[in-house]
Each structure stands twice: as structure tokens, then as C-alpha cells.
Amino acid sequence: AGAPPEAEGFRRGAAFLEAAGLTPGERRRRAEVLHQACARLLRLPPPQRPRSLAALRNLVRGACCTARTHSASAADLATALGASEEVRRQAPLALPPACVPVEVFPEEALAAARCRWQRLEARGWVARSGAAEVARWIASQAFVQSSYAPADVAGEL
């Protein structure tokens, strides 16, 4: 007989933070997801906490399985969006701190940011707003987001 499904989930989850080839940003997002799941678990009174791995998976499903890091280059995003030179010179578009390695902005995230940018342009917000405000908006969009399977998060816990 094989191992029970819950034991298999635990073995899969054991490599969640220690998988080979994880970038520092990916490792930080995975750690953040684990912190969110632990915080959610600790908010429950002990008698209401999950008693099985399946119940724990249900608890962490949803918001506990997604994390963002602002580790993409806002300056590169500003260039990709076609922001004006004045906007690109603003301080919020400076690189993240040296301790945060810059990650490549994922193509699907770039497409979504372009769509949001085009809506702002169509509404006239970009033209009405100051360069610093536009730069802050661009910096807020320079994130990398990852979502994880509840089974992997629960298995690591």
C-alpha cells in the first residue's frame, strides 16, 4: 500500500522553501506566503484550528497562497510603458535597495500593467497628474507576484 495522500503532500511541501534554483525574490515570496498562513492559523482559537492536512489546506486557500515582492525595476517598467522623460527622472523610479536583487518583470505582468496604463491615459489621468505622481504609480506596479497551491503551503507548515 502507498503512503496516505496527506503524507505525500507533506513530502512535496518539504522542498517548498529549499527547492533548487529559487531566486531570492521567489524565496521571499514563498516565505511571505508561509508567514501569512501562520498568521491566519494563529488568529484562530486552538479548539477551532484544523486537525488534518486537508482542513489546513482549506484554511490557507485563497489570500494565503499569493505574495508580491516589489523587486522588478520600476525604471524599466516606465520605459516599457512609454512614460515621458520627466516621469522617468523621478526618484520613485530608482532601483530597489541594493539588498533586493532586481528580478525580470514577467511578460504577463507587463501586459497587465500596459493595459492599466492605457486605461489611465484614456481617462486623461496621466496628462492631468504631475510627473512625481505618475512615477509613484509606476513604482507601485513594479512587482512580481506568485501564487502557490494550498497543498504545497499546507504541506510545508
36 with 134: CB under 8 angstroms? Answer: no
Look-up of cell digits 517598467? 77
Q: What is the pTM of this model?
A: 0.76
Residue 23 falls in which region: left (phi positive, over 0), alpha (psi -120 to 50) or beta? beta
State the Cα torsion 73-79-82-86 to the nearest 10°. 100
67-94 pLDDT, tens digit per residue, is 998 888 898 999 999 999 999 988 777 6
Q: Is the pLDDT of residue 137 over 90?
A: yes
19-68 pLDDT, tens digit per residue, is 888 888 899 999 999 999 999 999 999 999 999 999 999 998 866 899 99
* pLDDT computed for residue 99 by the predictor: 63
